[in-house]
């Protein structure tokens, strides 16, 4: 018991440390990214390509930092009415370039007028992390399906891919901090997504079959009036 408490304290301190480093490092990154953006129009050929690479890598560093910040501080700060179809469309638009680069397609079947009352930024981060993994798992020519509906008085989002899937051992480790099977993976994305969804009183469930694909089912409480109407 005592060891548990000590461990929890240690995790808390580590979390706070990670958060403050992430916070401090993010500012200079933003400045560097701003200067690179200013330089870009004046460059062509190889230099422009180098600037693009540099900016892509900065974006990657920023997204890793966001994950750390989110993991140590999953507070829902600004609650608002979020239209699920709208936020899912935004995420699809954001990730379409990544999908196209891998020669795959994001298909969607989104029910209109499903509202949740939550922190939009956090929800977007959780969903982006899940959809990104689906894209990364899917081979060229494949498809990722994103759908949303109201089921049993709850909002339900399904992200399904026909990618490489996971074996039992991998599936049992999903969501464990730093678990990654990727060469450049951080093993943060899923842990963050799970933490955010659970903070929202939602659930997130992974089903996967090696070689066949993965289906992630997320449920979220509907905005009060809407769940009353759907009874």
Interaction partner, residue 168 (Mg ion, ligand ADP, none; CB < 5-8 Å by kind): none
Instruction: Give the H or E element holding residue 205.
Output: strand 203-209
Interaction partner, residue 10 (ligand ADP, Mg ion, none; CB < 5-8 Å by kind): none
Query: Can you tell me whether residue 52 is helix, strand or coil?
Result: helix
Stretch that binds Mg ion, among 59-67, 111-119, 130-138, 148-156 (CB under 5 A): 130-138
Stretch that binds Mg ion, among 25-33, 159-167, 183-191, 214-222 (CB under 5 A): 183-191
The answer to the question of residue 148 lying near Mg ion (CB under 5 A) is no
CA distance linking residue 116 with residue 14, whole number of Å: 32
Q: Which residues bind ligand ADP (CB under 6 A)?
A: 129, 133-134, 137, 161, 163-166, 170, 174, 179-182, 185-191, 214
Q: DSSP state, 112?
A: S
The answer to the question of residue 189 lying near Mg ion (CB under 5 A) is yes
Nearer to ligand ADP, 170 or 230 (CB): 170
Instruction: Give the H or E element holding residue 79.
Output: strand 79-83
Binding mask 90-129 for Mg ion (x = CB under 5 A): ----------------------------------------
Positive or negative, the Cα torsion across 161, 166, 168, 170? Answer: negative
Which residues, listed in sequence order, are joined to residue 115 by a DSSP beta bridge? Answer: 83
CA distance linking residue 167 with residue 74, whole number of Å: 29
**C-alpha Rg value of the chain to the nearest Å:** 19
Stretch that binds Mg ion, among 84-92, 145-153, 182-190, 193-201 (CB under 5 A): 182-190
Length of the chain measured in residues:
231
The answer to the question of residue 133 lying near Mg ion (CB under 5 A) is yes
Interaction partner, residue 182 (Mg ion, ligand ADP, none; CB < 5-8 Å by kind): ligand ADP
| β-pair type (213-221, 154-161) | antiparallel
Nearer to ligand ADP, 192 or 222 (CB): 192
């Amino acid at each position: 018991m005592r060891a548990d408490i000590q461990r929890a304290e240690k995790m808390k301190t580590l979390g706070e440390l990670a958060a403050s480093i992430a916070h401090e490092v993010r500012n200079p990154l933003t400045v560097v990214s701003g200067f690179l953006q200013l330089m870009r129009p004046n460059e062509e050929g190889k230099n422009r390509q180098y600037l693009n690479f540099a900016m892509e890598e900065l974006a990657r560093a920023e997204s890793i930092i966001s994950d750390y910040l989110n993991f140590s501080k999953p507070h829902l700060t600004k609650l608002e009415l979020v239209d699920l179809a709208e936020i899912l469309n935004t995420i699809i638009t954001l990730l379409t370039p990544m999908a196209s680069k891998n020669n795959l397609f994001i298909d969607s079947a989104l029910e209109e007028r499903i509202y949740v009352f939550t922190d939009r930024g956090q929800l977007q981060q959780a969903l982006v992390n899940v959809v990104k993994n689906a894209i990364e798992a899917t081979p060229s020519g494949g498809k990722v399906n994103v759908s949303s509906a109201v089921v049993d008085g709850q909002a339900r989002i399904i992200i399904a891919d026909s990618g490489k899937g996971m074996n039992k051992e991998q599936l049992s480790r999903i969501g464990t901090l730093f678990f990654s099977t990727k060469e450049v993976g951080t093993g943060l994305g899923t842990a963050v997504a799970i933490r955010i969804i659970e903070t929202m009183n939602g659930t997130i469930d992974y089903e996967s079959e090696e070689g066949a694909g993965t289906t992630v089912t997320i449920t979220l409480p509907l905005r009060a009036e809407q769940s009353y109407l759907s009874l």
